[in-house]
Amino acid sequence: MTENLDELEEAVAALRGVTEERERLIRRRDELIRAALKGGATWVQIQGVTGLSPRGLSLAINRLPEELN
């Protein structure tokens, strides 16, 4: 039983690390999307690169950077 708890603890820690990295990458992607739009890229171009739906792209554009939350 203790072995299972140790393994569970390791899995949770690994997931936490992956989740934090994912959140960091999403913030960076959102920043780059906003920069690309300011630089003249179209929604269609950005959708082609990111694979985001129109709704997903809208959410990414409007999501506030962490420091502004």
pLDDT at 33: 96
2 backbone dihedrals φ, ψ, rounded to 5°: -60, -35
pLDDT at 26 over 50: yes
Compute how many other C-beta atoms are within 10 angstroms of the C-beta atom of residue 47. 14
The mean pLDDT of the chain is: 92
Q: Is the pTM of this model over 0.75?
A: yes
pLDDT at 40: 98
> What span, in angstroms and rounded, lies between the C-alpha atoms of 68 and 5?
38
Q: Helices (DSSP H) in the chain: which residue ranges?
A: 2-38, 43-50, 54-62
